[in-house]
A and B are shown apart, each in its own frame.
Chain A
Amino acid sequence: MNEIIDGFVQAGELILSLDPEVLEITARSLLISLTATVIASLIAIPIGGFIHFREFGGKRGLITIIQTLYALPTVIAGLFVFLILSRVGPFGFLGLLFTPTGMIIGQTVLIIPLMVGMTLIALSGVKKSLQDEVISLGATSSQAILTIVKESRFAILGGVILGFGRAISEVGAAMIIGGNIRGYTRVLTTAIALETSMGNIAFSIALGMILLAIAMVVTIALFLVQEQ
């Protein structure tokens, strides 16, 4: 019991003294997951818009598949990207395995389905009557799509925040693709996993508290956005 209390005390010291390694791992985590979120947004929002505004065969089925992938296990996303980036894989020549870039790709793949799904929900939340208004005000198709997307911007942003939350908290893909290399691909979640198994409780608790704080910021941001 005392060890745990000591762990918390030491963790507090690590954070308050701005321990360089703790800071470095936190910064890397944020950088990788934020980058993945931005890239995923750029891909997922237009895909969501395309699915929402176009009629095509298999639309219903496609949406069901996307919804299933909300719960895509992180290790499977990791495995998939690992295979693609490994030396025998189609993109092996890029040498991205065990690099932060590789981890960004992994997290991007992981959160795209969730963000496409959230975009679809956001767009279908725009009333049909509003879509009629847009068309009858003389919008071209692209003006209409842009206006509707703009109208649902807060709901879409909610999806983006959820995506970031999923990216920063996942451990499977980061571990498989990044390899948890100290000072290079080690992020909050992989560091916690490793340090805990090595008995370095104080360090784990410090990182865990930071991760929780980030999760809390994300939740508050989501709440504020949904208030809009």
Chain B
Amino acid sequence: MIEFLHVDKSFGEKEVLKDLSFRVEKGEIFTFIGPSGTGKTTILRLINLLENPTSGSILIDRQATKVSERERVDLRRRMSVVFQKPAAFRGSVYENVSLGLKFRGTAPDEIRVRVAEALHLVGLEGYEERIATTLSGGELQRVAIARALVSRPEILLLDEPTANLDPVSTERIENLILSLNERFGTTIVLSTHDMVQGQRLATRIGVILNKRLGQVGDALEIFYKPESREIARMVGVENVFDGTVTSNDGGLASIDISGITISAICASPPGSQVTAYIRPEELLLRVGKEGMSSARNEIEGTISRVTPIGPNVRVKVDAGIPLIAVITRRSCEDLALFAGARVSVSFKASAIHVGMPRVISSE
């Protein structure tokens, strides 16, 4: 549906995207995740033909997009965008939502029906006569989504669609995105810095790092099998260690990490330089000896820090190597953990993703 071939984009001297190649298939939800200000918005603007690539090419439905302005308008009319900070036009919500259909020359009766339908989808029934510029941020965001949906686009581009919304509205919008995709087969490209949202919504995720497209894959691959330290850091894989494979017994390898040996599932032969990735949720903490763990790896250490994060607690353990575990607040209380306490940390061999040491060049 959408294809980027070696796309570079610079604004004057400032390079924003470098050598971007990817394909979004018809009917999928493709999510770009990455820190703020890394060009995610620019990708959506390029797809919407609001910007031209500095080099490389963009195809929509296998059709080149370096065409006349008239043809670009036709291509643009097959898609809709919801910008991160939507702007409201003077006038009523009705006038705002109907604008795209007016541009397309839709009959007034049809416009009335479709505006009501779009407002219903975003839960703003009866908002037609409200003045758009006086709406709250969340309401405006939903008006913007209605404005995008009213033309029944084949491709829907969403830039941080829930960044300004409360949790209830966020859930509503996320459900709407999923149901649009299911019911109408709308191809959806969205950007988010919210990893969890990426995981909830995406068929596939593309990680944007240092102006480039890093890893592309489904949520499981991105969140459990990161390809590099940078991606790991971004998706919350906090335990990343470089080490050397010392032995490999039919896929169960021993890896030496600064003098500590761990067991992990991997195919690399002895002597290989590898990087081990472990999600902090995979680490189990125990105090004392009661309740033996079935996990292959068990390391003793001292807690150096306990930090609450919402319903969870992040526990930093110095065990020769710095380990970070995330456990629920309740288990933290049950174990009575505090900085300075001795604990044993255990994790399964299968919880470790072993990859080649690789760094995404910053150039």
Q: Is B151 at the interface (CB under 8 A from chain A)?
A: yes
Selected from B69, B77, B83, the residue in CB contact (under 8 A) with A129 is B83
B80 touches A151 (CB 8 A): no
B151 touches A138 (CB 8 A): yes
User: In the complex, how many angstroms separate the beta carbon of A225 from the nearest chain B beta carbon?
Assistant: 13
Q: Is A137 at the interface (CB under 8 A from chain B)?
A: yes
Chain B, range 67-82, C-beta contacts under 8 Å to A = 69-70, 73, 76-77, 80-81
In the bound complex, how far is the Cα of B70 from the Cα of A36, in angstroms? 38
A139 touches B103 (CB 8 A): yes
Among residues of B, the one whose C-beta sits closest to the C-beta of A144 is: B103
In the bound complex, how far is the Cα of B101 from the Cα of A143, in angstroms? 12
B69 touches A136 (CB 8 A): no
- A133 and B83 contact, Cβ closer than 8 Å, known pairs A138-B100, A138-B103, A151-B89: yes
Interface of A is mostly: helix
In the bound complex, how far is the Cα of B76 from the Cα of A133, in angstroms? 12
B87 touches A136 (CB 8 A): no
Q: Is A147 at the interface (CB under 8 A from chain B)?
A: yes
In the bound complex, how far is the Cα of B89 from the Cα of A147, in angstroms? 9
User: In the complex, how many angstroms separate the beta carbon of A122 from the nearest chain B beta carbon?
Assistant: 13
List residues of chain A with CB within 8 A of the CB of B73: 138-140
Q: Is B50 at the interface (CB under 8 A from chain A)?
A: yes
- A136 and B48 contact, Cβ closer than 8 Å, known pairs A141-B69, A143-B103, A147-B99: yes
List residues of chain A with CB within 8 A of the CB of B48: 136
Q: Is A135 at the interface (CB under 8 A from chain B)?
A: yes
- A136 and B50 contact, Cβ closer than 8 Å, known pairs A129-B83, A129-B85, A129-B87: yes
In the bound complex, how far is the Cα of B157 from the Cα of A136, in angstroms? 10
B99 touches A132 (CB 8 A): no
List residues of chain B with CB within 8 A of the CB of A137: 80, 99-100, 103, 147, 151
B87 touches A138 (CB 8 A): no
B103 touches A140 (CB 8 A): yes
Selected from B69, B90, B151, the residue in CB contact (under 8 A) with A151 is B90
Chain A, range 126-178, C-beta contacts under 8 Å to B = 127, 129-130, 132-141, 143, 147, 151
List residues of chain B with CB within 8 A of the CB of A133: 83, 86-87, 89
List residues of chain A with CB within 8 A of the CB of B90: 151
User: In the complex, how many angstroms separate the beta carbon of B42 from the nearest chain A beta carbon?
Assistant: 12
In the bound complex, how far is the Cα of B73 from the Cα of A127, in angstroms? 21
List residues of chain A with CB within 8 A of the CB of B103: 137-140, 143
A135 touches B76 (CB 8 A): yes
List residues of chain B with CB within 8 A of the CB of A147: 89, 99
- A130 and B77 contact, Cβ closer than 8 Å, known pairs A138-B100, A138-B151: no
Chain B, range 258-298, C-beta contacts under 8 Å to A = none
Selected from B50, B85, B89, the residue in CB contact (under 8 A) with A135 is B50
Between A130, A139, A147, A151, the greatest number of chain B beta carbons within 10 A of the residue's beta carbon is seen for A139
In the bound complex, how far is the Cα of B83 from the Cα of A138, in angstroms? 15
In the bound complex, how far is the Cα of B86 from the Cα of A136, in angstroms? 12
A residues at B contact (CB < 8 Å): 127, 129-130, 132-141, 143, 147, 151
- Name 21 interchain pairs, CB-CB below 8 A, sorted by A: A127-B87, A129-B83, A129-B86, A129-B87, A130-B87, A130-B89, A132-B83, A132-B87, A133-B83, A133-B86, A133-B87, A134-B99, A136-B80, A136-B83, A137-B99, A137-B103, A138-B76, A140-B103, A141-B69, A147-B89, A151-B90
- Given contacts A133-B87, A137-B103, A140-B70, could you give 17 more A-B pairs where the C-beta distance is less than 8 Å? A129-B83, A129-B87, A130-B87, A130-B89, A135-B50, A135-B76, A136-B81, A137-B99, A137-B100, A138-B73, A138-B76, A138-B100, A139-B73, A139-B103, A140-B103, A143-B103, A151-B89
